[in-house]
Chain A
Amino acid sequence: MTEETGQVLEQLRSALLEDAEAAASISQLLLENASQSEAAAPWRRDLSRIRQSALRLYRAVRQRLHAPHGTASPKAIGERLHRVRHDIRGILGNVLNRCQLVTLEADGLDEELRADLDRIRDHARRCVDHLDQHREVTRDETPAETPAPIAARRSPAASPTAPLICLPATDITGASILVADDNPTSRELLGRFLKRHGHDVAFAADGREALDLLHARDFDLVLLDVIMPRADGFEVLASMRETGKLAHTPVIVISGMDSGPNVVRCIEMGAEDFLPRPIDMALLKARVCSCLERQRLREREFAQFFTPELARQLVRRPEILTGGRSMEVSVLFCDIVGFSRISERLGAIDTLRWLSDVLDALAACVMDEGGVLVNYVGDQIMAMWGAPEAQPDHADRACRTAIAMMKVLPQFDRRWQSAIGARTEASIGINSGEAFVGNVGTPRKFQYGALGNMVNLASRVQSATKYVRAPVLMTHHTHARLKIRPPHRRLGKFRVNNIEEPVGLFELAASPPADWLTLRRAYERALDCFEKHQLGKASSLLGNLLVKNPSDGPSLLLMSRVAASLFADETTFDPVWTFSAK
Chain B
Amino acid sequence: MAKILIADDDDDMVEICSRLLSRKGHELLVARNAEAAVRTATTEHPDLILMDMRMPAADAGKVSDRAGLDATTRLKADPSTANIPVIALTGHTMHKWKEAVLAAGCAELLDKPIVDFSILLGAIDRNMKRKGAE
Contacts and interface: CB of A to CB of B under 8 A. Distances in A.
Contacts of A97: 12-13, 16, 20, 113-114, 117
A148 B99 CA distance: 9
Given A150-B103, A260-B103, A260-B105, A89 B112 contact: yes
Interface string B1-36: 000000000101100100110010000000000000
A89 to B, nearest CB: 4
A298 B3 CA distance: 53
A278 B105 CA distance: 18
B108 A160 contact: no
B91 A261 contact: no
Given A96-B116, A145-B66, A259-B105, A49 B12 contact: yes
A148 B69 CA distance: 13
A100 interface: yes
Nearest to A275: B95
Contact of A89 (B100, B113, B123): B113
Contacts of A278: 111
A61 B93 CA distance: 18
Contact of A260 (B93, B96, B104, B114): B104
Interface stretch (A65-73, A135-143, A555-563): A135-143
B96 A149 contact: yes
A143 B114 CA distance: 23
Nearest to B123: A257
B96 A146 contact: yes
B39 interface: no
Interface string A196-234: 000000000000000000000000000000010000000
B98 interface: yes
A419 B69 CA distance: 76
Contacts, number: 129
A553 interface: no
Interface string A225-268: 00100000000000000000000000000011111110110000
Contacts of B123: 257
Given A158-B95, A280-B95, A100 B65 contact: no
A259 B113 contact: no
Interface in B80-134: 85, 91-109, 111-117, 123, 126
Contact of B23 (A94, A105, A255): A105
A160 B116 contact: no
A90 B106 contact: no
B115 to A, nearest CB: 6
Contacts of A96: 113-116
Given A128-B113, A159-B96, A86 B103 contact: no
A132 interface: yes
Interface in A281-326: 283
A101 interface: yes
Contacts of B91: 85-86, 89-90
Contacts of A263: 102-103
Contacts of A257: 108, 123, 126
A128 B115 contact: yes
Interface string A90-102: 1011111110110
Contacts of B116: 96, 100
B105 to A, nearest CB: 6
A139 B94 contact: yes
B23 A143 contact: no
Which of B96, B103, B117 is most buried by chain A, counting CB atoms within 10 A of its CB? Answer: B96
B115 A145 contact: no
A452 interface: no
Interface string B67-81: 001000000000000
A152 interface: yes
B108 A259 contact: yes
B65 to A, nearest CB: 5
A261 B113 contact: no
Contact of A90 (B96, B99, B113): B113
Contacts of A138: 93
A146 B94 CA distance: 10
Contacts of B92: 140
Contacts of B93: 131-132, 135, 138-139
B115 A276 contact: no
A92 B113 contact: yes
Contacts of A256: 98, 102, 108-109
Contacts of B114: 93, 96-97
A547 interface: no
A325 to B, nearest CB: 45
A147 interface: yes
Contacts of B19: 101, 105
Given A86-B91, A132-B93, A151 B16 contact: no
Interface in A37-96: 49, 53, 85-86, 89-90, 92-96
A85 B104 CA distance: 24
B115 A147 contact: no
Contact of B106 (A105, A128, A146, A259): A259
A163 B39 CA distance: 40
A119 interface: no
B81 to A, nearest CB: 15
A533 interface: no
B106 to A, nearest CB: 7
Given A49-B12, A86-B54, A146 B97 contact: yes
B93 to A, nearest CB: 5
B113 A152 contact: no
A124 B113 CA distance: 10
Given A96-B114, A256-B109, A260-B102, A143 B16 contact: no
Given A86-B54, A93-B112, A260-B104, A276 B16 contact: no
Contacts of B108: 256-259
19 contacts: A49-B12, A53-B12, A93-B112, A93-B113, A96-B115, A97-B16, A100-B117, A101-B19, A104-B23, A105-B23, A140-B92, A140-B94, A145-B66, A149-B103, A158-B95, A161-B96, A259-B102, A260-B106, A276-B95
Interface of B: 10, 12-13, 16, 19-20, 23, 54, 64-66, 69, 85, 91-109, 111-117, 123, 126
A-B complex: 9 closest residue pairs judged by Cβ atoms: A93-B113, A149-B99, A260-B102, A89-B91, A92-B113, A259-B107, A260-B103, A97-B16, A149-B100
